[in-house]
Chains A and B, each alone.
Chain A
Amino acid sequence: MKILVCISNVPDTTTKVKFVDGNTKLDTTGIQWIINPWDELSLTRALELKDDSTTGVKSVTVAHVGLIASEPTIRKALAIGADDAIRVNAEPADAYYVASQLAEVIKKEQFDIIICGIESSDFNGSTVGSMLSELLDYPSVSSVSSLKIENGQIVISREIDGGKEIVNVSTPFVAVVQKGIAKEPRIAAMRGIMMARTKPIKLYELIAAEPLTQVVSFEMPKPRAACKFVDAENPKQLIELLQNEAKVI
């Protein structure tokens, strides 16, 4: 069984974002780039499955669509434990464009389980994973909070609004994962970092694909009104404000 984890390269989550070129582009100066938190947890789960000899998972590959500048993020995934990596040498224009590139690679390489995080912390689209499954005509399971392989069968727990469902699905398929898939992201050990240098990153050239969307501009959230403080001894005043001023209770 071969697992592919799709990883996105995003600004560190504490980054104070700023924009340039008339608010059309992210100002990348000083930004620390990281593996998208969901994808990092997906990778952790994939490696756990590989570590367990009963699952039959033989390899974990990571794939990324991005230019050479994102290689440190790919190396980090390799240092954490991925066996090899694929990079499609293309600027990620939009979700459809990225999914189209990944679909081409998957058609050539063949994986049994493809895992994508539910969203990337930059564009918050929640779209690449399910788009990919449709492009490949694979089944997809989204909102996955647990992924197991028991007696060669895939057992997934997915969240539904108001509960959860346990489902089986046949391979190949795409899992779009959310909270619960792994607890703490696995951290690269020194040995992993050394080994990552020698692990292969296979390069694919981009295929033609037309983005379906375009960011016209970004804007910052509207500033909130300053906090009104209420005396800790008199919380009744808070309730009155919520009733009469905010009118929310």
Chain B
Amino acid sequence: MSVLVFTENWDGKFKKLSFELASYASKVAEMLNTNAVALSIGNVDESELKKLGNYGVKKVVSINNDTLKSLDDRAYTSVIAEIAQKEGSKVIILSNNNMGKGLAPRLSVRLKAAIGAGVSQLPLSTNPFTVYKRAFSGNAFAHLELKTDVKIITLAQNSFELIETANGASVENISVNVDASNIKVQVKDVQKQTGKILITDAEIVVSGGRGMKSPDNWGPLVELANLLGAATACSRPVSDEGWRSHEEHTGQTGKIIAPNLYFAIGISGATQHIAGVSSSKYIVAINTDKDAPIFGAAQYGIIGDASKVLPKLVEAVKEVKGK
């Protein structure tokens, strides 16, 4: 028996979420009295693979195969399923990000394994196997029983802390046969964002809404984000108007994020917006309207005009950081 964790790397370096997943998987393995095994697909060197051991993983299975260079959901599913079976994995853990959302459901059908999707905590119990997950876009949570022998969990990004241990992991390089003629998704072009903090990864997100009034007013907001090492985001009308890029839109129909700190500046706090940010640990709201619903979701608030408050806030951060 084992718990299998599917890791992701970016140009050969593990994404932070892989260490989050490894920490989570190790805890689940502890609950089940077994070990966590990590699967890495891609060209990742040994010293990087070994880092997973710092987060409690006992063994790393590494596959470096040219046919798997780009993501074909069907091919990846076959490989993950093969390794899961070989490792006797009873629980398989993936990220609830773009990749995990594509792979986990296929794996579920392949292995007849129930999915708990978008989970943000350890299982509530292992017998019956019950997870706690978001429902009704964050307006409720469900206790979901996974009734099958093998279970799949996709973990919400940023929802689990990194737990470092002194373990070392063994690394096993494995080769798999992937029939290239079965690859039906052909990647023609890759456009990578460089030097930008992704809002799904960011621990702090500074977000602006229609209350920012115009795309020309974003300067101090971006400055605040830069000072805090934060990503920038926006509400839906802002991206619909083309003031900011679509990648920044958070909410029910945008990105769902769970940073430690979320600044909602000139954002009313409509339920559809809150649906995407309610898992933030802390929300700070800046709004001229004292009755704006965002104050109902925020822990800290300033009633005031963003154009006046933001420059002062920037100064305050500079002062504090300068100390």
Contacts and interface: CB of A to CB of B under 8 A. Distances in A.
Interface of A: 11, 13-17, 19, 37-38, 41, 95-96, 99, 118, 121-131, 133-135, 137, 139-143, 145, 155, 158-170, 173, 176, 179-180, 183-184, 211-221, 224-225, 227-233, 235-236, 238-243, 246, 248-249
A231 B316 CA distance: 13
Interface string B84-119: 000000000000111101111110111011111110
A214 B145 contact: yes
Contacts of A165: 70, 187-191
A35 B25 CA distance: 36
Task: Tell me the interface secondary structure of chain B in the complex.
Answer: mixed
Contact of A135 (B109, B128, B303): B109
Nearest to B116: A213
Contacts, number: 279
Contact of B141 (A135, A160, A213, A218): A218
B130 to A, nearest CB: 6
A163 B192 contact: yes
B153 to A, nearest CB: 12
Contacts of B103: 130
Interface string B171-198: 0000000000000111111111100001
Given A127-B105, A127-B108, A229-B301, A143 B141 contact: no
B58 interface: no
A38 B252 CA distance: 10
5 contacts: A124-B135, A124-B137, A126-B101, A166-B188, A213-B114
Contact of A161 (B98, B154, B260): B98
B213 interface: no
A216 B281 contact: no
A17 B275 CA distance: 13
Contacts of A183: 240
B117 A248 contact: no
Contacts of B305: 232
Contacts of A240: 320
B319 to A, nearest CB: 7
B140 A221 contact: yes
A95 B140 contact: no
Interface in B297-323: 297-305, 308-309, 312-313, 316-317, 319-320
Interface of B: 8, 10, 15, 70-74, 77, 96-99, 101-106, 108-110, 112-118, 128, 130, 133-148, 154, 184-193, 198, 200-201, 203-204, 228, 240, 246-247, 249, 252-255, 260-261, 271-272, 275, 278, 281-282, 284-285, 295-305, 308-309, 312-313, 316-317, 319-320
Given A169-B184, A213-B147, A227-B295, A218 B135 contact: yes
A131 B113 contact: no
Counting chain B CB atoms within 10 Å of each CB, the highest count among A131, A162, A164, A184 belongs to A162
A143 B101 contact: yes
Contact of A130 (B10, B102, B275, B285): B102
A170 B184 contact: yes
Nearest to B316: A236
B282 A242 contact: yes
B261 A17 contact: no
B275 A239 contact: no
Contacts of B200: 161
B141 A221 contact: yes
A19 B291 CA distance: 28
A139 B74 contact: yes
A139 B72 contact: yes
B105 A162 contact: no
B191 A37 contact: no
A13 B253 CA distance: 11
Given A13-B275, A127-B115, A161 B137 contact: no
A248 B280 CA distance: 11
A165 B200 CA distance: 18
Given A133-B73, A161-B198, A235-B302, A99 B133 contact: no
